[in-house]
Every structure is written in structure tokens, then in C-alpha cells.
Amino acid sequence: MALEKKPLVVCISGPSGVGKGTVLREVLRQEDRAWVSVSATSRPPRGQEENGVDYYFVSQEDFQQMIAADQILEYDEFCGNYYGTPRAQIEARLDAGYSIFLDITVKGALAIKKALPQAITIFLAPPNLQELRSRLEFRDTESPEKIVSRLSQARQEISQAPQFDYFLINESLEETSSAVQDILYVERLRAFRRAVAIQSIVEKF
């Protein structure tokens, strides 16, 4: 069925360290025309991160100018830094018929849903906070103070999970990515169903 691959807008949120990026990479292996939004951030690059690939790394001032110029579709402040979705790239990919995946904060996902009501929101939770702490420590990309700050942000984000369309506990990469693929499948069938219903109404005129 051709419409199974209908373009979708998918926001994945959840606490830092829960594994959003890893799950997304796995899911994208099964997608044809999919694109992951590259955010702008005022956070400095860490590890092997590349400008224009992982993020657009900009100064705090440049970020504020982008907001003022309406170049940012949504943004949030997370642990002292700005993170935002550049508007132009989303519009271009939507026009080109791509599915768009966004790895963003809770506030960001809810803002995207407001701007693009067809967006699907998925919340990924850790099995528990101790596990999240271990993952952040194992990742070894943040100082101990930053880990504390990200864990306190995590509690706050998890409390907002009921506002999402889907809630998954990330116990294993395999199970979670397969659950996300099931969600995409069902959402494409729903989109197909809506398209068929509209078609049958139009045909009566």
C-alpha cells in the first residue's frame, strides 16, 4: 500500500540520557524519505559533535537574533542553554514530502504539535531514575553538576508525559524501536483512512 509511507511529523521527547538519539537512529534504518531536524543551540559542542550535522552551534546572541527574526519554529531553555528548531528547514522538508523526526524537549514537542497539528508526540521514559543516572554517568559527556541538573530536569519532564500521544518505557533498544515502528505504521494507516474518507465525500459533489 503506497500510502503506508505517508510523510509524518514525529516528536520524540524524554529525559536527557533516556536514549532518544539511539532509538531514532534505529527507527530511521527502516524509513525511506525521512529527515531528522538539526536544531540550533547555544550549548558548546561535546565529544565528536559536528556543526551542521548534530546541531548548529551558535552564540547566545545569535540565537536571540534568530528568535527575533522569526527563524525559529519553537525553542526552549534547557539547563542554561537555548535549543530551537530552525523554521526554514522544516518547511522545505515538509514541502518535499519527507517524514520529519525531532528530538526535542517536552515544551518543544507541545509547541510543534500546536504549530503542526498532524505531529505525533512520543514520550520515552527510563525504567527508573537510577537507571537514567547510570546512563548519563556511563555516557561521560557531562560534569557531575550537569548530571544533577539534567536529573532534576528529568523529573520535571516525566511529570508532563501524560500530555503526549504515546508513552514508552525504554527498557531495550530493540523493543522500543520496534514499538516506535508500530506507532508509525498505525499513524500511517490512520492518515490513509482520513484521506480515503475525504475522497469519498468529494466524489459525491
- Residues in the interface with ligand 5GP (CB under 6 A) total 15
User: Does the footprint of ligand 5GP cover residue 170 (CB under 6 A)?
Assistant: no
Q: Can you list the positions of beta strands (E) in the chain?
A: 9-13, 34-36, 39-41, 55-57, 72-78, 81-86, 99-103, 120-125, 166-169
Q: How far is the CB of 136 from ligand 5GP (least distance, A)?
A: 9
User: Does the footprint of ligand 5GP cover residue 39 (CB under 6 A)?
Assistant: yes
User: Does the footprint of ligand 5GP cover residue 176 (CB under 6 A)?
Assistant: no
Residues near 134 by beta carbon (within 8 Å), at least 6 away in sequence: none
Phi, psi of 3 (to 5 degrees): -70, -10
Whichever of 83 and 164 has its CB closer to ligand 5GP, that residue is 83
User: Does the footprint of ligand 5GP cover residue 16 (CB under 6 A)?
Assistant: yes
User: Does the footprint of ligand 5GP cover residue 78 (CB under 6 A)?
Assistant: yes
Among 5, 31, 43, 133, binds ligand 5GP (CB under 6 A): 43
Q: How far is the CB of 182 from ligand 5GP (least distance, A)?
A: 22
Taking a C-beta distance cutoff of 8 angstroms, is the pair 6, 194 a contact? no
Taking a C-beta distance cutoff of 8 angstroms, is the pair 142, 31 a contact? no
Q: How far is the CB of 6 from ligand 5GP (least distance, A)?
A: 24
Half-sphere exposure of 10 (CA within 13 A, CB side): 29
Q: What is the dihedral of CA 98, 39, 84, 23, to 10 degrees?
A: 70
Taking a C-beta distance cutoff of 8 angstroms, is the pair 176, 124 a contact? yes
Which of the residues 80 through 109 are near ligand 5GP (CB under 6 A)? 83-85, 103-105, 107-108
**Residues near ligand 5GP (CB under 6 A):** 16, 39, 43, 74-76, 78, 83-85, 103-105, 107-108
